[in-house]
């Protein structure tokens, strides 16, 4: 009898284990995203494995794995991140360069940031990365981990944090080897060879495809990843006469095929710079489970409504996604843009979570911003120790260097799942209480309301006085306490 009972229990335990494994190796009790949360497209909708509609509203983690000098703590790199690496490598060597970059990346985004984003009511993050996160040079030398495999540990950690806090991850190849456009955020301004129709151009594209194959293999079936974003803003700022969209489509098709062999059910997003009608009918290429994306930095309300109308007029029957957007000028508001996307079933990720410079705290580009330039690195003159210090713990959102910016103040009305009005990051006690779930909506009023900041923000476009306002703004806060900010 005992033997029979033991055998019966063993069978039950084995069957239970097999059932769990058959659902997904990622379905764990201590995480917020499980196998049934995996996303796919149905027509122009995004749905989960339970058949429920999922409307993605998120943030970009801009400036983390690839920097841009206008909102991250680095000077002298207006041509792009390639320049940052070149200067540091010339001064300190490759190994020390990556030590410094690891210090920066260890601090710019930490675990608390993912909880913060989730508690603000967002449900996804777009994670821009570039090829130098995985290659130590421009010749295709992969950075390997202790197992001899390509080191994807940054992405693995970020996806794990997303899974833990109920966020979907969108993995975005922001800058490819060879440079896919003329803009600095492609890695190197005006160094554009990714789409060259020669042997070297083919090699660049093959490198990007191989990176996607490796990523797809590593993350196959992971429900915490919403989609792979194949290439950020291809041919950005390239003159119209040289902008041959079929070259972009050919690269997309190669990357699509490579991903499908490793991860057949993954949503894939493709950008039309700057509109959906610059992308082909997916049926022409046999693309399935794809999301069509565009970015928008326009000046008028009509720019937003026209772009939306043109996108749906293509009748591609795929979801549309505003991967980055922010109105420029004073003829359209951020509120108008978000409402337009919400009203027209376009999922979105705002640019961007945090920024560092003297005006970031009162700009609606960021949820968190600084009020000082103190920790901006001079690539040419700062010592290794100084750079390590400037890119160290002071770059953590909870360090006291950052304050509530204006972006969340606008976005929160569109985030019904938000648990907080303001997330306090001023003292260690605040951080501990927040992580412990003791501070939520209604229990904290914020401490960064500064009328002078708002006054200067309203006058920031006055000709000839911008530098003076910038100096005054920093001076006031340098003699104030954190409670006044």
Q: How many domains does the chain have?
A: 1
The CA distance from 146 to 148, in Å, is 5
Report yes or no on 25 lying in a domain.
no
Q: What per-residue confidence (pLDDT) applies to 371?
A: 86
Q: What per-residue confidence (pLDDT) applies to 434?
A: 52
Report yes or no on 293 lying in a domain.
yes
Q: What per-residue confidence (pLDDT) applies to 273?
A: 80
Residue 172 vs residue 441, higher pLDDT: 172
Q: DSSP assignment of 367-436, as one string?
A: SEE-S--TT-EETTTS-HHHHHHHTSGGGSTTSSS-EE-SHHHHHGGG-TT---SS---SSHHHHHHHHT
- At a CB cut-off of 8 Å and minimum separation 6, what does 206 contact? none
Report yes or no on 375 lying in a domain.
yes
- What's the pLDDT band for 1 if we cut at 50, 70, 90? very low
Q: What per-residue confidence (pLDDT) applies to 437?
A: 61
Q: What per-residue confidence (pLDDT) applies to 361?
A: 85
- What's the pLDDT band for 400 if we cut at 50, 70, 90? confident
Section 370-385 average pLDDT: 94
Report yes or no on 7 lying in a domain.
no
* Residues 54-111: tens digit of each pLDDT: 999 999 999 999 999 999 999 987 788 999 999 999 999 999 999 999 999 999 999 9
Report yes or no on 481 lying in a domain.
no
DSSP class of 446: -
The CA distance from 135 to 341, in Å, is 37
Task: Give the pair of three-digit tokens for residue 469.
Answer: 């306002």
Q: What per-residue confidence (pLDDT) applies to 269?
A: 98
pLDDT at 228 over 70: yes
Q: What is the CATH number of the domain that holds 342?
A: 3.20.20.80
> Domain residues for 93?
38-442
Report yes or no on 228 lying in a domain.
yes
* Residues 182-198: tens digit of each pLDDT: 888 888 887 899 999 99
Q: What per-residue confidence (pLDDT) applies to 425?
A: 52
* Residues 282-306: tens digit of each pLDDT: 999 999 999 999 999 999 999 999 9
pLDDT, the chain, mean = 85
How many C-beta atoms surround the C-beta of residue 437 within 10 A? 10
């Amino acid at each position: 009898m005992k033997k029979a009972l033991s055998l019966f229990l063993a069978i039950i335990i084995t069957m239970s284990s097999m059932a769990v494994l058959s659902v997904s190796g990622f379905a764990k009790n201590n995480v917020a995203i499980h196998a049934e949360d995996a996303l796919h497209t149905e027509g122009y909708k995004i749905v989960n494995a339970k058949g429920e509609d999922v409307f993605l509203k998120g943030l970009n983690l801009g400036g983390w794995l690839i920097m841009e000098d206008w909102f991250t703590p680095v000077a002298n790199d207006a041509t792009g991140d390639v320049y940052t690496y070149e200067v540091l490598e010339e001064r300190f060597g490759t190994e020390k360069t990556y030590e410094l970059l690891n210090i920066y990346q260890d601090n710019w985004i930490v675990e608390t940031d993912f909880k913060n984003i989730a508690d603000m009511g967002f449900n996804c993050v777009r994670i821009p990365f570039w090829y130098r996160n995985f290659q130590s040079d421009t010749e295709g030398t992969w950075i390997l981990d202790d197992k001899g495999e390509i080191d994807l540990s940054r992405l693995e950690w970020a996806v794990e944090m997303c899974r833990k806090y109920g966020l979907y991850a969108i993995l975005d190849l922001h800058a490819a080897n060879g440079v896919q456009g003329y803009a600095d955020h492609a890695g190197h301004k005006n160094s554009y060879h990714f789409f060259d129709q020669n042997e070297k151009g083919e090699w660049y594209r093959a490198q990007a495809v191989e990176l996607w194959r490796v990523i797809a293999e590593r993350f196959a079936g992971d429900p915490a990843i919403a989609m792979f974003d194949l290439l950020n803003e291809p041919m950005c700022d390239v003159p119209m006469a040289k902008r041959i969209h079929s070259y972009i489509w050919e690269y997309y098709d190669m990357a699509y095929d490579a991903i499908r062999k490793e991860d057949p059910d993954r949503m894939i997003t493709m950008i039309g710079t700057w509109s959906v009608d610059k992308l082909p009918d997916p049926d022409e290429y046999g693309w399935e489970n794809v999301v069509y994306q565009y970015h928008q930095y326009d000046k008028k309300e009509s720019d937003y409504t026209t772009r939306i109308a043109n996108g749906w007029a293509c009748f591609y029957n795929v979801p549309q996604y505003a991967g980055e957007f922010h109105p420029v000028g004073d003829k359209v508001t951020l509120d108008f843009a978000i409402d337009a996307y919400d009203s027209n079933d376009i999922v979105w990720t705002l640019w961007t979570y945090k920024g560092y410079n003297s005006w970031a705290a009162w700009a609606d580009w960021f949820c968190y911003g600084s009020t000082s330039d103190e920790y901006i690195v001079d690539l040419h003159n700062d010592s290794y120790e100084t750079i390590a210090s400037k890119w160290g713990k002071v770059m953590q959102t909870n360090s006291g260097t950052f304050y509530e910016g204006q972006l969340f103040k606008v976005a929160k009305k569109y985030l019904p799942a938000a648990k907080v009005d303001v997330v306090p990051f001023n003292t260690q006690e605040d951080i501990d209480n927040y992580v412990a779930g003791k501070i939520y909506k209604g229990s904290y009023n914020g401490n960064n309301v500064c009328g002078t900041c708002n006054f200067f923000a309203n006058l920031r476009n006055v000709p000839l006085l911008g530098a003076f306002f910038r100096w005054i703004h920093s001076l006031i806060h340098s003699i104030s306490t954190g409670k006044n900010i």
